[in-house]
Amino acid sequence: MKYLDSVDLKGKRVLIRVDFNVPLKNGVIQDDNRIVQSLPTIRLALEKGAAVVLCSHLGKPKGKVVPELSLAPVAAHLSDLLNRDVTMAPDCVGDEAAKFVADLAPGHVLMLENLRFHAGEEANDEAFAKALAAGVDVYVDDAFGTAHRAHASNVGVTEFVPECCCGLLLKKEWEFLGEALAEPVRPYVAISGGAKVSTKLAVLRRLLDKVDVLIIGGAMANTFLLAQGHEVGSSLVERDLTDEALNIVKEAGAKGVTLLLPVDVVVGGSLDDAVTGGIFDAAAIPAGKMVLDVGPKTVDLYTSALATAKTVMWNGPMGAFENQAFAQGSLAIARCLAKLAGVTTIVGGGDTDAVVHKAKLADKFTFISTGGGSFMEFMEGKELPAFKALEGCGK
């Protein structure tokens, strides 16, 4: 696999697949971390004398043009960050887009419109991939966030460009996660939160072969509590997975892994409640109430386990952190990790990234991955389609 720093780009048109899938509210970017993370790759391409064409998706327009999901606000923000003009193309493929690419001079930057305005992107359609590659000399993949997807912009396109390489961010993710998690310094503690057990079963099982302590929070903990005979009110829960949850608890015990579950919880009537409905023991959750955060005793239990860790991997919030009333558990974990000295702290997943930024503690963590699903599949040990495509490019 080639890397950007070793490829000649002088006078060439370079298509960079970035991950600019950032949260927008009324056209205003709420968190620009993914854009900022891509800047070294963009700047290096410009320094090497390239004409830079950027492509990304934003949101889930499902193959249709959704004006609210235009990348225009992203292009404007990128222009400010680079301190140079970023031209916005009206589309990502077609005659108009092709002319914008053809007319682009070295040292200039062009942002193509949202890839997912076309169904061909997610379908990895050959014609769409070929159109995207038209007029391009070099393709650079720098989007770890989509590395687990076999889409036209990161897999199909590699068959229609003369040369491909891995961007600086993608390289950093690959090398850091591979090295840090292959042989972690122990004790190794994994924190797994978020909504569903079903999306993380494979990861949880793989973690049991690697970690010393596994901490479970978020709505996925409800399934474990139910499996242990605790009623969970009207909480989000996967009742059909209680047997799987029990098996994970048993496997942890058999492998000598300490598995920690909430001992108390914060409840509410709905996700939108402005105030909490109180704190209850995990064995006494009231009927009709939803578990929306971990309680203070649970925070103490979890932070005590983290105090002796040497490597920590965190994926998934402890509760409905978007609502300040139910954000305290997640923020407490973030603050605890930020204070640990001499510990490798790794954050993966968009929601967890958002918690860390909400707490204004991003600079206190060793590494914040830009991947969500790709981070999880990497943790599972799966081969990611984007890397396979880069390795096969030109062969």
- Give start and end residues of each alpha helix (H) in 307-349: 328-339
Enter the tokens of residue 148. 């687990």
> Of the residues 233, 350, 371, 372, which is catalytic?
350
> Of the residues 130, 196, 297, 310, which is catalytic?
196
Report whether 155 contacts 173 (CB < 8 A). no
- Tell me how far apart the alpha carbons of residues 386 and 378 are, in angstroms, rounded to a whole number: 12
- Active-site residue 255, yes or no? no
- Active-site residue 43, yes or no? no
- Active-site residue 381, yes or no? no
| Residues 66-84 as b or e (16 or more Cβ within 10 Å = b) | eeebbbebbbebbbeebee
Report whether 114 contacts 353 (CB < 8 A). no
- Active-site residue 186, yes or no? no
> Of the residues 34, 171, 210, 358, which is catalytic?
34
H or E segment at 368? strand 367-368
Q: Which residues have C-beta within 8 Å of that of residue 272, sequence separation ≥ 6?
A: 323
Q: What are phi and psi of 108, to 5 degrees?
A: -110, 160
Q: Which residues have C-beta within 8 Å of that of residue 38, sequence separation ≥ 6?
A: 16, 18, 19, 20, 142, 167, 169
Active site residues: 34, 196, 350, 373
